[in-house]
A and B are shown apart, each in its own frame.
Chain A
Amino acid sequence: MIEILNNFFNGLGAVLAIGPIAGIIAGVCVGIFFGAIPGISAIMAIAIILPLTFYVDPVIGITMLLAVYKAGIYGGSISAILINTPGAAASFLTAQDGHALTKAGKAGKALGMALYASVTGEALATLVLIFVAAPISIISLQAGPIEKVFLLIFAFTVVGSMTGESISRGILSCCIGMLFAMVGMSSITGATRFSFGVPELMSGFTFLPLLIGVLVMPEVIDAIKKRKTPHYDLILEKSPNPDDNRVTWKEYRSVFGTMLKSTGIGTFIGALPGLGSSAAAFLAYGEAKRTSRKPETFGKGSLHGIAAAESANNAVCGSSMIPMLTLSIPGDDVTALLMGAFLIHGITPGPTIFYEHTDVIYAIFAGFLITDIFLLIIARAGFSFWTKVASIQRYYIFPCVTVFAIAGAFTTNQDLYDVLILICFTVFGYGMRLIGLNPAAFIIGFILTPLLEQNLDQAVAIVGKDYGMILASPFAWIFTALSAFSVFSAMRMKKKEKKKVAAPSAPERSAS
């Protein structure tokens, strides 16, 4: 514990310099800006900023990306509250209560509560990350190649079964990602696979253009598809009663218990691969409503509702880093992207990160907490400004996003072939969405396959011809059981969802 604190304060010293602070401020501004625009998510902002961080110190680059992530998640609540259009799926519930308050002339109060809940949730989850990640990494350090193979299979199964529209579509997305990762030269044997004599394919698909193509550009395409829908300006109307424009200390205290509970739920959900911030927000909101004295106010302008949804979905930001940093398993698309950023900066996420890059990792943790402070200051100081900025017409935003994406793809290797990869994967990524395949599962399959192949090769080298030895490890059985359990629970969840969807149609049928 003392060692963790010691490392943390060293990291704090490293991050309290002009470079990292400037990066955090820029990241917070970019994150709020992109997050607040309906139709643009935090992931788009991170992917666009990512190439800019290639050439700076990892502490500056990664803290900047994390600032974009955190601020982007909060930014999603601005459009949710003001025009009932969530910038991110996780802000759906914030939209219900927040917009009800906006209609009652209390937009300032709703925005304030969303901000305080976001910052509280994020800060507490970051503390959990700081104090839990290193001890977990000590345990995971004991895992050898055999255990890692089963751990990775577990990760594929969980992510595939939890993220897709159906289990088969989720796992298929992951498998396709794995297949794309195997294009090019094998790092184990040096053989060239699936290159079909095309020299450019011999080095495989460049990560960044593929990532931007699959995750970011389909959002631009979606905006183009919906280009006929009218544009709404975000307007922050101030009430003559000052108490309607702010959250009082009494109100904050009254919802603090809800925030704590929701942060706990968000932290737990975030630490599990595949569930993400939307699931956390829905679970926390449901729990807050269930235990509330006035459940009827939820959805009609309840501060508890905003606090629950926002603190839970922001708590996911910190805790979703736990499996990535300790086990090399990104739980969702954003952490997959951040894992890519770590790899680009020469830092391989995994248990050894705490020993090989102690300074960097604790500086990043300290940066996480400092981001919360800047998010609080910057967002609170400029509610009116951010609402104006977020009202910029989409025909100014999306051409810029297109150019940033293309320039970002080009800067990776300074090769126009990467721009072609970007365009091809843009079409592919949009196609995936159309047929219900999951881009996050695809990216996770793409990122983790080289790790799987490497560990599988080492595992076989250890057991020799006695392949039965692979199953001798108790971890093999534990992770196999967990994989089976995750598929089983996903099946149950999907069944329940189907029943829920079918339920309202019964009375409708009887009425007709």
Chain B
Amino acid sequence: MNRRKIDVVFSSILIIASLVILSSDKLVEGGVETDLGSMLLPRIVAVFIIIFSAMIGVPSLLNLIRKTPLRGLEQIDTEGFLGIGIYIAILAAYWLALPHLGFLVATPFAMFGVAILLEGRNWPVMAAVSLVIPLVVDYGSSIFLHVFLPPWTLS
């Protein structure tokens, strides 16, 4: 993957967001009046973001137009990206399932899924780890930290 394209898109997004911060008064609600106001620092930071985004985006854009060969760090290796997508999907599904299935039920599935994703094939040990670790974490957090992880709420 060509990082220059990402640089251009990312810089453009940051510049647009910074321009919105500089020009809009609707980004702040309430608060007391002070000498500086609530938006002074965000606006100063926005100016710097525009400057440094331009310093990244403009050379990348020029290099894209000139079609200069990619240097080492400008080439993003996309091998393994499918696995990353699956991992994020597991995390999202786990987050959605947690309030309903509870920590003790949802976690073994998430752990087992991540283990398979990491090319784990030692099923009995993986299953045992996926069952024991949530139990230990749940017990430890409730007894020692007095934090109660989400319980089963479906029934």
Contacts and interface: CB of A to CB of B under 8 A. Distances in A.
Q: How large is the interface on A (under 10, 10 to 19, 20 to 34, 35 or more residues)?
A: 35 or more
A342 to B, nearest CB: 19
Contact of B120 (A192, A395, A430): A395
B80 A225 contact: yes
B45 A179 contact: yes
Contacts of A175: 45, 48-49, 52
B19 to A, nearest CB: 13
Given A172-B56, A225-B80, A435-B3, A402 B114 contact: yes
Nearest to A452: B41
B146 A55 contact: yes
Interface in B44-97: 45-46, 48-49, 52-53, 55-56, 73, 76, 79-81, 83-84, 87-88, 91-92, 94-95
Given A190-B30, A402-B114, A435-B6, A228 B119 contact: yes
Chain A interface helix/strand/loop/mixed: helix
B83 A55 contact: no
A270 B108 CA distance: 42
A461 B7 CA distance: 40
Q: Is the interface of B mostly helix, strand, loop or mixed?
A: helix
A165 B56 CA distance: 11
Given A165-B73, A404-B137, A416-B150, A171 B28 contact: no
A210 to B, nearest CB: 15
A168 interface: yes
Contacts of B115: 395-396, 399
Interface in A395-441: 395-396, 398-400, 402-404, 406-407, 410-411, 414, 416, 419-420, 423, 426-427, 430, 434-436
Nearest to B52: A172
A89 to B, nearest CB: 16
A427 B88 contact: yes
B137 A407 contact: yes
Residue among A51, A188, A403, A456 facing the most chain B CB atoms (10 A cut-off): A403
A140 interface: no
A399 B95 contact: no
B150 to A, nearest CB: 7
A199 to B, nearest CB: 12
A236 interface: no
B117 interface: yes
A420 B95 contact: yes
A226 interface: yes
Interface centre among B80, B98, B133 (most CB of A within 10 A): B80
B80 A227 contact: yes
A176 B33 CA distance: 26
Nearest to B47: A175
A178 interface: yes
A225 B79 contact: yes
B154 interface: no
A125 to B, nearest CB: 33
B16 interface: no
B143 to A, nearest CB: 11
Contacts of B144: 52, 55
A414 B41 contact: no
Contacts of A51: 145
Contacts of B120: 393, 395-396
A26 B111 CA distance: 24
A169 interface: yes
26 contacts: A165-B73, A171-B52, A172-B49, A172-B53, A175-B48, A178-B45, A179-B42, A191-B30, A191-B38, A193-B38, A223-B118, A227-B117, A396-B129, A398-B118, A399-B110, A399-B111, A399-B118, A402-B91, A403-B107, A403-B110, A407-B103, A407-B137, A416-B150, A423-B91, A434-B6, A460-B35
Interface of A: 51-52, 54-55, 165-166, 168-169, 171-172, 175-176, 178-179, 182, 186, 188-195, 220-221, 223-228, 393-396, 398-400, 402-404, 406-407, 410-411, 414, 416, 419-420, 423, 426-427, 430, 434-436, 449, 452-453, 456-457, 460-461
Given A179-B46, A416-B98, 20 more contacts: A52-B145, A54-B145, A175-B52, A178-B41, A182-B42, A186-B31, A186-B38, A188-B38, A193-B27, A227-B83, A395-B126, A402-B111, A403-B110, A404-B137, A411-B145, A423-B88, A426-B88, A434-B76, A435-B7, A456-B41
Interface of B: 3, 6-7, 10, 14, 27-39, 41-42, 45-46, 48-49, 52-53, 55-56, 73, 76, 79-81, 83-84, 87-88, 91-92, 94-95, 98-99, 103, 107, 110-112, 114-120, 122, 125-126, 129-130, 133-134, 137, 141, 144-150
Which 3 A-B pairs have CB atoms at the shortest separation, nearest pair first? A191-B31, A395-B120, A225-B80
